[in-house]
């Protein structure tokens, strides 16, 4: 595996994040739900599954409705390290009263919950900057206007220092100029799944870039700006980016729930 600590000078356009970054280990999970059940699942999750997970050492980073699929719920959960992940998952799923009480209801709405990636920040300062968990909005709060974009890049090999350098020095300035706010950059964490009851997509090499927008309209403006940047983006940068990938990036447009701490 490539050593991501290679000494590259950090570019000025790298995301500027707060000192208190969240979760060196992150599960990115995509759930497929039965049609018509997503709002009920969101209510169950936000009401019953947030604080009980955090009480045993997990951090519920963000939970979202996927704007591209009415039957998909996407969420992220973080941990301080892999042993903490194992302890927290065992405590919540094997021993916790919240899962014991509501698991059957949750499963009745789930078609598939196995689409999950284990991630880590590409650099110590590229994780998520979140408010204190005690400041999480209540269930009755208004839905936020912002959206989060997760762009999943699939590579043939582990993310290299050269790829990160290209992304930070070429791609980030272009997406910033078009109106995006970078909020995190992650790569595959190559650790054995220490809670096999919850499958992880293994054998994949991914780089995941998260950006935030104040509204869906602002994201549309961003896409328009990129499209107008024909010479730099369409003819040079995007082809250079995709030439390094196995397929075009998978782009998730994610609308935060009322209790999500990661917002646009």
Q: Is the model's pLDDT at 6 over the cut of 50?
A: no
Phi and psi, residue 14, nearest 5°: -60, 145
Which of the four pLDDT bands, split at 50, 70 and 90, describes residue 16?
Answer: very low
Sign of CA dihedral 154, 185, 76, 74: negative
pLDDT, one tens digit per residue, over 66-84 is 999 999 999 999 999 999 9
Neighbouring CB atoms inside 10 A of 249's CB total 18
Q: Residues 239, 243, 246, 252: what is their CA dihedral angle, to the nearest 10 degrees?
A: -30
> Which residue carries 């998909």 as its tokens?
72
Domains, in order of start, for the chain: 21-256 (3.30.70.100)
What is the tens place of the pLDDT at every residue in 78-116?
999 999 999 999 999 999 999 999 999 999 999 999 999
Whether the predicted pLDDT of 126 surpasses 80: yes
- Global pTM value: 0.91
pLDDT per residue over 231-248, tens digit each?
A: 899 999 999 999 999 999
Beta-bridged to residue 72, according to DSSP, are 32
- How many angstroms from the chain centroid is the CA of residue 238? 22
pLDDT confidence of residue 124: 86
């Amino acid at each position: 595996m490539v050593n991501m600590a290679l000494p590259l000078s950090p570019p000025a356009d790298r995301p500027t994040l707060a000192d208190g970054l969240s979760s060196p280990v992150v599960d990115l999970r995509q759930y497929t739900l039965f049609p018509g059940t997503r709002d009920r699942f969101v209510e169950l999750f936000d009401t019953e599954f947030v604080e009980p997970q955090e009480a045993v050492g997990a951090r519920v980073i963000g939970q979202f409705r996927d704007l591209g699929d009415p039957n998909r719920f996407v969420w992220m959960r973080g941990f301080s390290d892999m042993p903490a992940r194992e302890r927290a998952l065992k405590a919540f799923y094997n021993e916790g009263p919240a899962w014991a009480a509501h698991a059957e209801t949750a499963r009745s709405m789930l078609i598939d919950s196995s689409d999950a990636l284990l991630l880590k920040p590409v650099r110590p300062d590229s994780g998520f900057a979140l408010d204190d968990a005690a400041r999480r909005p209540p269930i009755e709060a208004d839905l936020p206007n912002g959206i989060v974009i997760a762009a999943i890049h699939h590579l043939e090999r582990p993310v290299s220092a050269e790829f990160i350098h290209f992304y930070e020095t070429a791609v980030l300035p272009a997406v910033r100029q078009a109106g995006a706010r970078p909020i995190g950059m992650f790569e595959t964490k190559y650790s054995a799944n220490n809670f096999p009851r919850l499958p992880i997509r293994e054998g994949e090499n991914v780089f995941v870039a998260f950006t935030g927008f104040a509204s869906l309209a602002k994201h549309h403006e961003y896409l328009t700006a990129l499209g107008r940047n024909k010479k730099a983006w369409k003819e040079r940068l995007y082809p250079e980016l995709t030439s390094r990938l196995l397929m075009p990036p998978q782009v998730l447009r994610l609308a935060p729930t009322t209790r999500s701490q990661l917002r646009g």
